[in-house]
């Protein structure tokens, strides 16, 4: 188990290095190849030559790409100093870059936005797991019933309707129409009650999409498993149906669900862009959307790395959980 963990962590670290290098090339090298001067996009419409040069100097854009990547890596562990034009900015470790648009180090911005996104992703995940998996299991068990058809129609709607539609609709009805919710985000630390009520609509909206997908996957997997020999054997042995479902069918069904959950949670923690944007939640997704709009490359790079980290971490957790759920899996 320990060897397995060390191996996986090492692989994750290598993967991160590759991701950082690729992300750097995409954001800093590709525009250069296309003949676009990145520095000039940071300095406003008059683009004074001194201003362009100042940005180039501070960001080290004149250095070879490997030097830039190395400086970035070093910054994560020992911090980094940006100097130019008589101004010196120190970005403390872990330095994930510095935004020359908002004049802020990226790491504090990410840590400030992260709890919002984490709260959104986890709350929605709880909802969609309860609703999606239950609906899927029930549909599989009552295949062809009115319940099954109804649940699958709702699931189809959930998958088909984009979040910005369901989100705007729920805002129009419950915030602007019925005034049941304020629609304003309040940090958990300021007021847990208001935080909870403020998160209900985003949770439900996000969970609606995912619950629909999970219901369909659960139903399909469950139906396939219910036809397996070992289920027939269990039933032939005289086990009660709830035991067969809970102890045998559910365990196998949960394996692909868990894989999906790991991937989805990882990606969502990197930013639920549409949900956060629709409900104006100040999380990572909204931050990266604003950064894309403002072409704030350091923020985009920072959020991309956080997303990658979250996906890698979530996958690692999922792999470990496999062994817990399915005794056939051995971590070696």
Partner 1 sequence: MTTQRTSGRRKQALAAAAAVAALLTTAACGGGGDDNGGSKNGAAGFDAANNKVAQASAVKKGGTLKFGGAQDADSWDTTRGYYGFMWNFARYYSRQLVTGKTEPGKGGAQLTPDLATGLAKVTDGGKTYTYTLRDGVTWEDGKPITSKDVKYGIERVWAQDVLSGGPTYLKEVLDPKGEYKGPYKDTSADKLGLKAIDTPDDKTIVFHLPQANSDFEEILALVSASPVRQDKDTKSKYGLKPFSSGPYKFESYSPGKSLTLTRNTSWKQASDPVRKAYPDKITVTFFSNANELDQRLLNGDLDLDINQTGMSPQGRTTALKQHKANLDNPVSGYIRYAVFPQSVKPFDNEHCRKAVIYGADHVSLQTARGGPVAGGDIGTNMLPPSVPGAEGQKYDPYELAGANKSGNVAKAKEELKACGQPNGFSTTIAVRNNKPVEVATAQSLQASLKKVGINAQIDQYDGSQTAGIIGSPSNVKKKGYGIIIMGWGPDFPTVQGFGLPLWDSKYILQSGNNNYALINDKAIDGLFSQYVTTLDDAGKEKIATQINHKVMEGGYYLPFVFEKFINWRSDRLANVYTTDNYSGMYDFVNLGLKSAS
Q: Which residues bind partner 1 (CB under 8 A)?
A: 31, 35-38, 40-55, 57, 84-87, 89, 100-104, 168-169, 171-174, 176-178, 276-280, 282, 286-287, 289-290, 293-295
Query: Quick one: tokens of 91?
Result: 């970005």
- Separation CA 96–CA 278 (nearest Å): 27
Residue 50 burial (CB count, 10 A): 9
- Separation CA 324–CA 169 (nearest Å): 41
The residues near 84 (Cβ < 8 Å, ≥ 6 apart) are 54, 55, 57, 58
Please give the torsion angle defined by the CA atoms of residues 133, 138, 143 and 149, in that order, rounded to the nearest 10 degrees: -80
Query: Are residues 300 and 291 in contact, defined by beta-carbon separation less than 8 angstroms?
Result: yes
Shortest Å distance, C-beta 211 to partner 1: 19
Cis ω on the peptide bond leading into residue 94 (within 30° of 0)? yes
Shortest Å distance, C-beta 112 to partner 1: 8
Q: Which residues pair with 318 in a beta bridge?
A: none
Shortest Å distance, C-beta 282 to partner 1: 5
Query: Are residues 287 and 113 in contact, defined by beta-carbon separation less than 8 angstroms?
Result: yes
Nearer to partner 1, 55 or 257 (CB): 55
Nearer to partner 1, 108 or 256 (CB): 108
Nearer to partner 1, 50 or 236 (CB): 50
Nearer to partner 1, 174 or 313 (CB): 174
Nearer to partner 1, 31 or 94 (CB): 31
- Separation CA 295–CA 288 (nearest Å): 10
Shortest Å distance, C-beta 210 to partner 1: 21
Nearer to partner 1, 112 or 319 (CB): 112
| DSSP secondary structure letters along 132-158 | IIHHHHHHHHTTTSHHHHHHHHHHHHH
Shortest Å distance, C-beta 224 to partner 1: 35
Shortest Å distance, C-beta 99 to partner 1: 8
- Separation CA 322–CA 37 (nearest Å): 48
Nearer to partner 1, 202 or 262 (CB): 202
Query: Quick one: tokens of 72?
Result: 């970035």
Shortest Å distance, C-beta 1 to partner 1: 43
User: Is 20 strand, coil or helix?
Assistant: helix
Burial of 121 (0-12, 13-18, 19+ CB in 10 A): buried
Nearer to partner 1, 57 or 259 (CB): 57
Shortest Å distance, C-beta 53 to partner 1: 6
Nearer to partner 1, 146 or 178 (CB): 178
- Separation CA 212–CA 209 (nearest Å): 5
Shortest Å distance, C-beta 206 to partner 1: 15
The one-character DSSP state at 283 is S
């Amino acid at each position: 188990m320990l060897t397995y963990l060390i191996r996986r962590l090492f692989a994750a670290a290598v993967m991160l290095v590759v991701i950082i290098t690729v992300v750097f090339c995409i954001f800093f090298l590709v525009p250069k190849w296309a003949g676009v001067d990145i520095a000039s996009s940071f300095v406003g419409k008059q683009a004074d030559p001194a201003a362009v040069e100042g940005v180039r100097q501070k960001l080290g854009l004149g250095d070879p790409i490997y030097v830039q990547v190395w400086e970035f890596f070093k910054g994560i562990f020992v911090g980094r100093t940006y100097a130019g034009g008589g101004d010196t900015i120190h970005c403390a470790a872990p330095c994930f870059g510095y935004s020359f648009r908002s004049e802020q180090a990226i790491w504090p911005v990410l840590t400030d936005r992260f709890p919002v996104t984490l709260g959104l992703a986890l709350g929605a995940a709880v909802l969609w797991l309860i609703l999606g998996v239950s609906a899927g299991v029930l549909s599989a068990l009552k295949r062809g019933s009115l319940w099954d058809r109804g649940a699958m129609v709702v699931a189809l709607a959930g998958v088909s309707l984009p979040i910005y539609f369901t989100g705007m609709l729920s805002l129009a009805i419950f915030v602007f129409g019925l005034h049941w919710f304020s629609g304003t985000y309040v940090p958990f630390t300021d007021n847990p009650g208001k935080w909870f009520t403020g998160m209900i609509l985003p949770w439900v909206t996000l969970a609606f999409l995912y619950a629909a997908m999970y219901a369909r996957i659960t139903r399909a997997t469950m139906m396939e498993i219910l036809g397996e020999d070992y289920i027939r054997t269990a039933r032939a042995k005289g086990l009660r149906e709830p035991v067969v479902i809970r102890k045998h069918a559910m365990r196998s069904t949960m394996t692909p669900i868990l894989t999906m959950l790991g991937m989805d949670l990882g990606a969502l923690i990197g930013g639920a862009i549409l949900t956060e944007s629709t409900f104006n939640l100040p999380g990572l997704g909204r931050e990266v959307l604003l950064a894309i709009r403002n072409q704030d490359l350091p923020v985009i790079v920072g959020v991309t790395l956080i997303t990658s980290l979250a996906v890698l971490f979530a996958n690692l957790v999922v792999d470990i959980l496999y062994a817990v759920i399915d005794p056939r899996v051995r971590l070696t």
